[in-house]
Homo-oligomer: A and B are copies of this chain.
Amino acid sequence: MATRTRTLTTSDSSAKAEELAQAAFELFCSRGIDRVNLDEIAAAAGVTKGSLYWHYASKKAVVLAACDVYYARWREQITAATGGAESAYGKLEVAIAYSVRSCLLDEANRVFSTEIVALSLYDTEVRASWAGFLDETERFFLGLTHQAVGRGELVCDDVDRAVDLMLAAMEGIKQTALFRPQICGPQSEQRTERRLLSLLGDRP
């Protein structure tokens, strides 16, 4: 799409740019950002580095674009997961279940987010991008939890604090999962889900 009005607008005019971002994201997920060079990314998208540099000004720009791919996929999957549930509490359950699963089992997700966090130590743009995503996820869980509490499906006296804590625990679990493969089993997964859920409050 957008093949004709290829004027001087931004890079969304070209589907190739998106294809390059997708390819970069996949490669970054499997092998880490600085273990993937631009030749590989370009090749994975069916072009060469010369073309890549027509769409992106630097490797960092490619990384930022890969981040956007990550965010878009998260939105897509989280809405798909929560779409089935009716109650706000039910949505919370499946949202946490999805998050735990992606934390504990989806190694690609772990690789990418770990690399981005490490990059954020030195690059303010990457850090700002990731911070925006963290805000988005917090707003998401905050909204659901407030809904559940407002509808009487959950009892929690300090929602903001509870969500903060739950998200921090989730990040911590994701990180330690790298070093404790044993906690990635299916029964451990369910237990983790229940623990995180209970951090948000109690059922009435």
Task: Write the residues of chain A forming the contact surface with B, with a CB cutoff of 8 angstroms.
Answer: 32, 34-35, 110-111, 114-115, 117-118, 120-122, 127, 130-131, 134, 161, 165, 167-173, 175-176, 178-180, 195, 199
Contacts and interface: CB of A to CB of B under 8 A. Distances in A.
Nearest to A195: B165
7 A-B pairs with the lowest CB-CB distances in the bound complex, closest first:
A168-B172, A171-B172, A172-B172, A118-B118, A131-B179, A169-B169, A168-B169
Contacts of A34: 34
18 contacts: A32-B121, A35-B122, A114-B117, A115-B118, A117-B118, A117-B175, A117-B178, A120-B178, A120-B179, A161-B195, A168-B168, A168-B169, A168-B172, A169-B172, A170-B172, A171-B171, A171-B175, A172-B172
Contacts of A176: 134, 167-168, 171
- Interface of A, secondary structure class, is helix
Contacts of A199: 165
Nearest to A130: B179
A118 B114 contact: yes
A16 B167 CA distance: 44
A180 B127 CA distance: 10
A110 B118 CA distance: 10
B32 A178 contact: no
Contacts of A110: 121
A70 B173 CA distance: 22
